[in-house]
Structure 1
Amino acid sequence: MPLKPDIERPETQSRRVGFAIVGIGELSAEELIPAARTSEHAYVAALVTGERGKGEAFALSLGLTPDDVYTYEEYDRLGERSDVEAVYVVLPNSMHREYVERAAKAGKHVLCEKPLGVNAADAQAIVDACAGAGVQLMTAYRCQYTPEHWAARQAVQEGRLGKIKLLDSIHVQVQDDPEAWRLKLGLAGGGPLPDVGIYSLNTIRFVTGQEPEWVFAAQHQPQGDLRFTEVEESVSFMLGFADGVVANCLTSYGALKTSTLRVLGEEGALLMDPAFPYDGLKLTIEDEAGKFEPSFGSYDQFSQEFDHFAQRVRDGQRPWTPGEEGVQDHVIMDAVYESARSGQVVRLKFVEGQDAFRGTPPEVPGQD
């Protein structure tokens, strides 16, 4: 539903970063556009859509005009708009590269939905295009901007749980529409793994700050189910880290919606359940002092993303989840699929250091 006109803003538009939202699907309409209204450092300056009427209705609700709405054919004209400093690409995965490259060519900074592309080579081309054009690129990993996930990360990395031994994560949901673009290999690049399984993969990398050394995986693609003629229904994968730390992950398009993250250490454990929805996250930490459930004030995950990226556009610092972070997940997902096909462990290139692919830490509500 279109929103009431956006009249009051925390900053003047001359200081805030103007975004063009590229694609007005469910995520944009229900989450991103409302989130931009509560952002301190960003606002929606233009909309790009295949349905002009729909775009104009949303433009009206934002206090914009029909001239602020562009079709995909008119997309390159954003280069004429000095008030549009960045784009947020919210399109099927296979379209990310084209629309990021076109934005970079027009001199616009890019916030791109995850996964960054359809495979590691595709994602690297996106990174290269933005680097060559001298524009900022951020992968939209919203779970790296919540206080709950940062509290989990701190508990792990500050030793509250003792030496970490095991992690596990489940992210599954039912995808019941055979015509959904997420079930088309050419558009999505895979099934549940790059859509929902990536949350488990990325969050485990985030809370540990480390990169896996190997993967081992299996997948299931049922016969006779029209939903899964092109992509898998389920994937199970194991990640091996230094010092024998092992993570197990399950993802599927065929099971009741569930999202969890568990970390087990020698002296404590933590559980996030649910771990990945837009709101309602719940974290429980258990250590020698007992069980504790931290609570945080209200916030919007997508506003956090907008604000962090807008600040990086202004100060020129590298975003916390830059394009390279998105490429690394693709490297690992490509290895997951390779392992599932071959039935063998796949070794990954050694990555040294903490948070090797991340940039400037974000300002997270409720965190010091």
Structure 2
Amino acid sequence: MDTRRDFLQKLGISSLVLPFMPLSGLATTKTEKLYDGPVLRVAIMGLGGYGTRVAEAMKSCVKAKLVGVISGTPSKIKDWQAKYSIPEKNCYNYENFDEIKNNPDIDAIYVITPNALHYDQVIRVAKAGKHVICEKPMAVNAKEGQEMIDACKKANVKLLVGYRMHFEPKTLEVIRLRNAGEFGKIMFFQGQCGFKIGDPAQWRLNKKLAGGGAMMDIGIYAINGSRYMVGEEPVWVTAQETKTNPQIFKEGVDETIQFQMGFPSGAVASYLSSYNINYLDRFYLVGEKGFAEMQPSTGYGPIKGRTHKGELTQPHITHQTVQMEEMAGIILEGKEPIVPVNGEEALKDLKIIDAIYLAAKTGKKIPLKL
């Protein structure tokens, strides 16, 4: 059965007929049927800036719908109720959200809270019998990540992680080209991710809430990006940390880390993760037969890229809209994404981050087994 999403993929992604028109702006045509399949009913936990971005993007979804909220701030709940027509019975706080197990109108919870809170909240959601979408990093270390995976498996619910780039059209085109052999044997990857952070009092600079610093927030993009662009799992890592302002970047909160990884084929990678350098959002992949460059590579878009064959021209559609549509398909229809977004995928990034911190601390080359 044709669906609205199928139609958009045919027109918006394959033929690029409507490259920048939002999903909600497309009129029904004779070849399109209004979507009448299952809809993933989602509650967002954490009503901050990114939670708002996801909520706005979901207005254009047809397979996913925002139906509930979880927040510790009553005024935010009231605002979201009015803005998104959320019924009172679907509103919870951090103390009582376990009661969501008795609410048949909510299928999944999207956890968008500070990193260190994910562990407890995801496990509680799983015990409540709801599917989980968790922002990255999934946890603050691999031990917690594994326990979250185990809890979701025990509860027989899905655990997905907010890797929006795994659905981004230009990113997927680079992966397709690599799989088709267009770059030849991959030799080198470079990933640069960073920005100069603002408010020194924010939670991202609080070790107890963030679990680290720039690496947990922005460096993870370069780690994950190298894995899907190189197409292999790294086998070793080395790292060097630089800290110029210990008053802002306190113990356990990394300011800038340079790190390197090696892959089984012999490909090597170089990375820069920073909270003190602007304009870092670039991936560069080099093979024996060609290259791919993306800059910006992970921002909210539009992503820009080129290869030795020319500019990448795939359309920009709001990342969070595509992500939620595709995740609805994964949860409700058993779809398999080109690049995984499950807990096991996120656990690999956490293992690498653990090793990077250890390498930076010890100065040693740390073997990886993912």
TM-score by length of 2: 0.87
Residue of structure 1 equivalent to 2:18? none
In the TM superposition, what are the counterparts of 1:54-73 in structure 2 within 5 Å?
Answer: 54-73=76-95
Q: Which residue of 2 aligns with 1:209?
A: 231
Amino acid paired to 1:16: V
* 8 Å CA contact retained: 1:157, 1:207: no
Residue 104 of structure 1 is matched in structure 2 by 126
Unaligned ranges ≥5, structure 1: 1-9, 352-368
Residue by residue, what CA displacement relative to the aligned partner does 1:267-299 show, whole Å, maximum 9, x if unpaired? 21110011011112001011xxxx411212341
* Alignment match, 1:357: none
Q: Which residue of 2 aligns with 1:192?
A: 214
The correspondence of residues 156-175 of structure 1 with structure 2, limited to 5 A, is 156-175=178-197
- CA distance in structure 2 between the aligned counterparts of 1:343 and 1:52, rounded to whole angstroms: 47
* Residue 261 (1) aligns with residue 279 (2): no
Aligned length: 335
- Deviations 1:207-238 (Å, cap 9, x if unpaired)? 22210010011112235433434411101110
* Residues 170 and 258 in structure 1, CA contact (< 8 A), matched pair in contact too: yes
Aligned equivalents of 1:179 and 1:156: distance in 2? 42
3-state SS in 1 of match to 2:171: helix
TM-superposition CA deviations, 1:290-343 (whole Å, max 9, x none): x41121234121112211221122134566310001111010110111111111
2:193 counterpart SS class: strand
1:21 to 2:39 alignment? no
Q: Deviations over 1:1-52 (max 9, x none)?
A: xxxxxxxxx656x8311101000000011x1001111112110110011111
CA–CA separation in structure 1 for the residues paired with 2:328 and 2:238: 38
Q: 2:303 aligns with which of 275, 281, 305?
A: 281
Cα offset, 1:255, TM superposition: 0.7
Q: Distance in 2 between matches of 1:121 and 1:107?
A: 22
1:1-368 matches, within 5 Å, as: 11=35, 15-29=38-52, 31-286=53-308, 291-316=309-334, 320-349=340-369
Q: Deviations over 1:56-78 (max 9, x none)?
A: 21121112233332111121121
Residue 292 of structure 2 contacts residue 305 of structure 2 at CA under 8 Å; is this kept in 1? yes
CA distance in structure 1 between the aligned counterparts of 2:248 and 2:67, rounded to whole angstroms: 41
Once the two structures are overlaid, the 10-residue window that deviates more, 52-61 or 218-227, is 218-227
Q: Deviations over 1:110-167 (max 9, x none)?
A: 0000000000001111101000100001111111110111111122222112221111
User: Which range moved further: 136-145 or 317-326?
Assistant: 317-326
Are 1:234 and 1:251, in contact at CA under 8 Å, matched by a contact in 2? yes
Question: Is the 1:59–1:68 contact (alpha carbons within 8 Å) kept by the matching residues of 2?
Answer: no
TM-superposed deviation, 1:188: 1.0
For residues 81-127 of structure 1, the C-alpha deviation after alignment (integer angstroms, 9 at most, x for no partner) is 11100000000111001111111111000000000000000111110
Letter in 2 for 1:23: G
* Equivalent residue, structure 2, for 1:364: none
Opposite residue 26 of structure 1, the aligned amino acid is: G
Instruction: Report the Cα distance in structure 2 between the residues aligned to 1:293 and 1:318, rounded to whole angstroms.
Output: 28
- Quick check: 1:143–1:276 contact (8 Å CA) kept in 2? yes
Q: Secondary structure at the match of 1:242?
A: coil
RMSD, aligned α-carbons: 1.6
Judge conservation of contact 1:221–1:231 (CA < 8 Å) in 2: no
Distance 1:54 1:263 in 2: 43
The answer as to whether partners of 1:152 and 1:283 remain within 8 angstroms in 2 is no
Gaps of 5+ in 2: 1-33
Match of 2:241, SS state, is: strand
Equivalent pair of 1:222/1:228 in contact (CA under 8 Å):
no
Deviation of the 1:175 alpha carbon: 1.1
